[in-house]
Amino acid sequence: MADDIKILAFDVFGTVVDWHRSIMDEVRSMHLDVDADQFALAWRAGYMPAMQKVMSGELGWTLIDDLHRMILDDLLVRFGVTQLSEEQKRHLNKAWHRLGAWPDTVAGLRRLKQRYTICTLSNGNIGLLTNMAKQAGLPWDCVLSAEVFQKYKPDPATYLGVAKIFDVEPGQVMLVAAHQDDLAHARACGLKTAYIERPLEYGASQVKDVSPHPDNTFHARDLEQLAGLLRC
């Protein structure tokens, strides 16, 4: 089955990088006098409702950077943070460009890259994903974003777009993600899927259920184990 796969497309936030710890570190470094755990969780929780405004047509096409800023402005009011300058707000918003990788990520990607073309398939915009890769040392062959397709996941145009760009069949693409819903949408488009366990994606206060799902092609503890399963 692994012999049919040509392209590994990776979800990024939570799968490849540890957004929760990274955002908490950024919040603490700016001395905002808020609960860093709750601030990070609230910022991430605003992501789907904000994206839905674009998907419903309430907003036109909007980069994730701009959605993050809309959410941040609301959060600063909610958490009573009033001391930040505009420059500091812009710096904090770019925290999503500086997310740190999980400990297994870079070594796992390097192994997988030896056999497969590896790319991102993220709702993050191209500038964000490129800066993140530079910062965290992520060795992508290609950075693909919802920005390329002008559609956010889970629109089928994103999953099928990977196959179209690389001129392969959908079944020759495997989405690698730590989110079962993302993987389910990819399977519905004919992609293969690999689930990566990230039980602490939301921190120790919200440990995730990482039970196997029978429809995934592979299930791995981390990217290095996935590389082993794929004989890399």
Q: What percent of the chain has pLDDT over 70?
A: 100
Give pLDDT, residue 133: 98
pLDDT at 2: 74
- Identify any residues that bridge with 174 across adjacent strands, giving them in sequence order: 8, 192
In sequence order, what are the residues at sequence separation of 6 or more whose Cβ sits closer than 8 angstroms to the Cβ of residue 119? 7, 8, 9, 10, 140, 141, 142, 143, 144, 162
Instruction: Write out pLDDT tens, residues 50-99.
Output: 999 999 999 999 999 999 999 999 999 999 999 999 999 999 999 999 99
State if pTM tops 0.75.
yes
Average pLDDT over residues 170-180: 98
Q: Which two tokens stand for residue 75?
A: 């959060």
Average pLDDT, the chain: 97
Q: Residue 164 to residues 15, 47, 151, 190: CA-CA distances in angstroms? A: 23, 27, 15, 13
Give the contacts of 49 (CB within 8 A, at least 6 positions apart). Answer: none
* One-letter amino acid of 74: D
Using alpha carbons, select from 96, 101, 105 the residue that is nearest to residue 124: 96
Question: Can you tell me the mean pLDDT for 210-231?
Answer: 97
At residue 153's C-alpha, the angle toward residues 48 and 93, to 5°, is 50
pLDDT digits (tens, 9 = 90+) for 100-112: 999 999 999 999 9
pLDDT score recorded for residue 45:
96
Walk me through the domains of the chain, giving residue ranges and CATH numbers: 2-18+100-229 (3.40.50.1000), 19-97 (1.10.150.240)
Work out the pLDDT band at 3, boundaries 50, 70, 90: confident
Closest CA to 103 of 223, 205, 220, 219: 223
